[in-house]
């Protein structure tokens, strides 16, 4: 099966009250762990590549690894650019075989965001590629840029219809209180998402797929592992999984997860070295890390996204 776009996935997810997992990939073990989980559960999948991932692992290596995963699993997989910030980056991924790109114009003024998104949509649609855009601004860390809570802003439901109709984008990432990274809420702060804003957006754009970034739940099991085996992240807090489940039942069709992958991988490797200090064969510590990713993704597919058996 060739790579697919997100069009059909999102339509079915919207109608079925579930979401597709969009997992960030940076190397072979991460791709294998995620795709093995999706294969076992018959789940459609989005694998996404940030510009940082592209710099780290190289475009060709990543696309070929994803092609290998498709040969091995025969799953419907969309290959997506995460947080594209320029037309040139989106063009390079479209020309280089991606089936979906995000143009993140959320750092620009409204009119500049419309103009940039429209330009990417025109180029992408002419080549059968779909486009995710963003309105509103999440807090947290993205590609070395740290957006403080003060600079973050919720999506304005009054803008979404105008933005989507003028740009022609295929899905829209919104800000309703999620944020990037492992420290999403301050200690003592009650995790909250603005479901009222999501509902308003849903009314303005019936049937239109919404995307949630910064949606890791920062799984306590892995945070504890990192803390126990030499790490320092006692204040890591994520989005409660019941809230993500609720969002998936509403208009949210794509849920982005990266931090949970990092925590599962790093926690497992830290534990491995604490228990096996003399080992130095990378296969020995990367095998349990890959298994941890697989287990974590299976949990997300079954208990958070609800996309198991949806192929």
Query: In this structure, are residues 179 and 236 in contact, taking their beta carbons and an 8 Å threshold?
Result: no
Contacting residues for 54 by C-beta, under 8 A, at least 6 apart: 62
Which of ligand 13P, Zn ion, ligand G3H, none lies near 34, with the C-beta cut-off 5 to 8 A by kind? none
Residue 82 in the binding site for ligand 13P (CB under 6 A): yes
User: What one-character DSSP code corresponds to residue 169?
Assistant: -
Catalytic residue check, 143: no
Residue 258 in the binding site for ligand 13P (CB under 6 A): yes
Q: Where along the sequence are the contacts to ligand G3H (CB under 6 A)?
A: 24, 50, 52-53, 82-83, 142-143, 180, 258
Query: In this structure, are residues 146 and 140 in contact, taking their beta carbons and an 8 Å threshold?
Result: yes
Size of the site for Zn ion (CB under 5 A): 1
Which backbone phi and psi does 21 adopt, to 5 degrees? -80, 130
User: Looking at beta carbons, which pairs linking 266-269 to residues 24 or more positions away fall under 8 Å?
Assistant: 266/222, 266/226, 266/231, 267/221, 267/222, 267/223, 267/224, 267/225, 267/226, 267/229, 267/231, 267/292, 268/222, 268/225, 268/292
Which of ligand 13P, ligand G3H, Zn ion, none lies near 294, with the C-beta cut-off 5 to 8 A by kind? none
Which of ligand 13P, ligand G3H, Zn ion, none lies near 85, with the C-beta cut-off 5 to 8 A by kind? none
Which backbone phi and psi does 46 adopt, to 5 degrees? -115, 125
Chain position carrying tokens 């109608």: 15
Which of Zn ion, ligand G3H, ligand 13P, none lies near 215, with the C-beta cut-off 5 to 8 A by kind? ligand 13P
Residue 32 in the binding site for ligand 13P (CB under 6 A): no
Quick note: the x/- pattern for ligand 13P over 131-170, rule CB under 6 A, is ----------------------------------------
Minimum distance of ligand G3H from residue 229's CB (angstroms): 23
In the bound state, the residue with its beta carbon closest to Zn ion is 213
Collapsed DSSP state (helix, strand, coil) of residue 164: helix
Contacting residues for 29 by C-beta, under 8 A, at least 6 apart: 265, 286, 289, 290, 293
Nearer to Zn ion, 70 or 297 (CB): 297
Quick note: the x/- pattern for Zn ion over 212-231, rule CB under 5 A, is -x------------------
Binding site for Zn ion (CB under 5 A): 213
């Amino acid at each position: 099966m060739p790579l697919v776009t997100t069009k059909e996935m999102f339509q079915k997810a919207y109608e079925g009250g579930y979401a597709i997992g969009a997992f960030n990939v940076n190397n072979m073990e991460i791709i294998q762990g995620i795709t093995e989980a999706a294969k076992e559960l018959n789940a459609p999948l989005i694998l996404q590549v940030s510009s940082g991932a592209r710099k780290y692992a190289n475009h060709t290596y990543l696309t070929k690894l994803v092609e290998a995963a498709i040969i091995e699993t025969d799953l419907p997989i969309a290959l997506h650019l995460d947080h594209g910030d320029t037309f040139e980056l989106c063009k390079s991924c479209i020309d280089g075989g991606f089936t979906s790109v995000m143009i993140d114009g959320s750092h620009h003024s409204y009119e500049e965001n419309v103009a940039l998104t429209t330009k990417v949509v025109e180029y992408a649609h002419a080549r059968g590629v779909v486009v995710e855009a963003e309105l509103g601004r999440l807090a947290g860390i993205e590609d070395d840029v740290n957006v403080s809570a003060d600079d973050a802003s919720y999506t304005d439901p009054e803008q979404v219809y105008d933005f989507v109709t003028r740009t022609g984008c295929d899905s829209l990432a919104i800000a309703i209180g999620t944020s990037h990274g492992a420290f999403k809420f301050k200690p003592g702060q009650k995790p909250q998402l603005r479901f009222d804003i999501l509902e308003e957006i849903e009314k303005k754009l019936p049937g239109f797929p919404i995307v949630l970034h910064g949606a890791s739940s920062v799984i306590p099991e892995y945070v504890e592992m990192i803390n126990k085996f030499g790490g320092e992240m006692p204040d890591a807090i994520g989005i409660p999984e019941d809230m993500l489940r609720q969002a998936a039942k509403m208009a949210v069709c794509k849920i982005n997860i990266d931090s949970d992958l990092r925590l599962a991988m790093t926690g497992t490797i830290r534990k491995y070295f604490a228990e096996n200090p003399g080992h130095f064969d990378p296969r020995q510590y990367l095998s349990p890390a890959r298994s941890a990713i697989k287990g974590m993704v299976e949990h997300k597919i079954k208990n958070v996204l609800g996309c198991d058996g949806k192929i």
